[in-house]
Structure 1
């Protein structure tokens, strides 16, 4: 157990009890306080009462699905959400990211990977809070305005709502606008993943988030360099 995770509350939302219990047991072994829910309504109620630091959320749930749970939780207060899905369909992933999920894992997954993803999500939250305290200067790349302190974004002068991951991704690209950043670099700087994450699922994670971000800031603003990575273009 580490002091970093000792006070953290994780909410596990999964209707298959075997999987739910296995996730809860592993997270408790890592030092997390864990709450468990097995359907949509109880997940929303628990999130409101215990105010978790992170949510592990299955997509397919009784009552109402994980996408609706994510919408309701995020409407109450921002919290990092790791979606758990049995399907790797891009449309499903993009919908999940669109309602506020920060990351996703496709079943079957290893408990080691779950723990690492949860820890990375929490480190990113801490990093974002520290950055806000520093009140860094706002950035502008063409028609896109980014304020790291308030975590607000505008496109052509109009406010645009980004998820925490989308904001971190845009900020990373904006700090080196015009330069091509590799997927590995983005995984390290945005997701806080180490070299061990150079897998197909890691690549899909970056690509899915870039696609979701393009839908909000304009597809032409993020250039793809096939086989390498992405660059933010200085467009009006």
Structure 2
């Protein structure tokens, strides 16, 4: 019989940790709980789980730093919980290496839905096939899917994993217009709820790194009411 999927819950609020742990166990998951960053990193080394549910506001070492260090030793899924109701923290979480995030208060069935969406994705980085590259001659942009590198007019452009995945997805589908819903579904396995601004903010950061901040944009273009596309 297939073993239950394992979750490492990193949460210092004992009452919330107990509620979330009990709920997930009731849904068939194996759950281990730790209350701080160093213990989380130690758990990832000793017994890596299938997924980490990681709070941002932790004592001693915050979840952003835990996530950053975890990515050197842990290739699995990371879903971050944050009580910080600011878009920038959500984007920072994703750009640090998290695969998804939820804002508190935690709604158990939404958490369950997000976990299931992660597990439906075969591997991290599924948006980027390994043996492929794209050359966009109109803007002299080269993207290597194997090395996960980007250059613009032969000058390297340094992107986070999350930024690369978004650019790669747009470039692979150029010049097709991709909606926010399509982008979120491909990158995070969820539907756009009309409120999530992480795609827009990541597009803005990409444009800045590609020297394409001022309209009319040369590389990543906006189609009002429809979405974004990459210049062919």
Instruction: Tell me which interval the TM-score lies in, with the shorter structure as reference length.
Output: 0.7 to 0.9
The question of whether the paired residues in 2 share the 8 Å contact of 1:48 and 1:73 is answered with no
CA apart distance, 1:97? 2.5
Find the aligned partners of 2:147 and 2:115 in 1 and give their Cα distance: 22
SS in 2 for 1:190: helix
Pairs aligned (count): 223
- The alpha-carbon deviation at position 100 of structure 1 amounts to 1.6
Give the Cα separation in 1 of the matches to 2:50 and 2:211: 32
Which structure 1 segments of 5+ residues have no match?
none
Q: Once the 2 structures are TM-superposed, how far is the Cα of residue 64 of structure 1 from its aligned partner?
A: 1.1
Q: Is the 8 A contact 1:181 1:228 kept in 2?
A: yes
Q: Does 1:35 align with 2:11?
A: no
> What TM-score do the two structures reach when normalised by structure 2?
0.81
Other-structure match for 1:162: 160
Residue 174 of structure 1 is matched in structure 2 by 171
Whether 1:207 aligns to 2:204 is no
Residue 135 of structure 2 is matched in structure 1 by 140
After TM superposition, give the deviation of residue 74 of structure 1 in Å: 0.9
Report matched runs for 1:77-96 at 5 Å.
Answer: 77-96=74-93
1:186 corresponds to 2:183: yes
The reply to whether residue 232 of structure 1 matches residue 225 of structure 2 is: no
Q: Find the residue that maps to 1:145 and give its secondary structure.
A: strand
Q: Distance in 2 between matches of 1:111 and 1:176?
A: 35
Give distance in 2, aligned partners of 1:130 and 1:87.
28
Q: Rg: which structure is higher?
A: 2
- Alpha-carbon displacement from aligned partner over 1:148-205 (angstroms, at most 9, x marks no partner): 4x36121224263432x44432232112213321112222333223xxx44234x324
Distance 2:99 2:125 in 1: 14
Q: Distance in 2 between matches of 1:28 and 1:16?
A: 18
Listed as ranges, the gaps of 5+ residues in structure 2 are: none
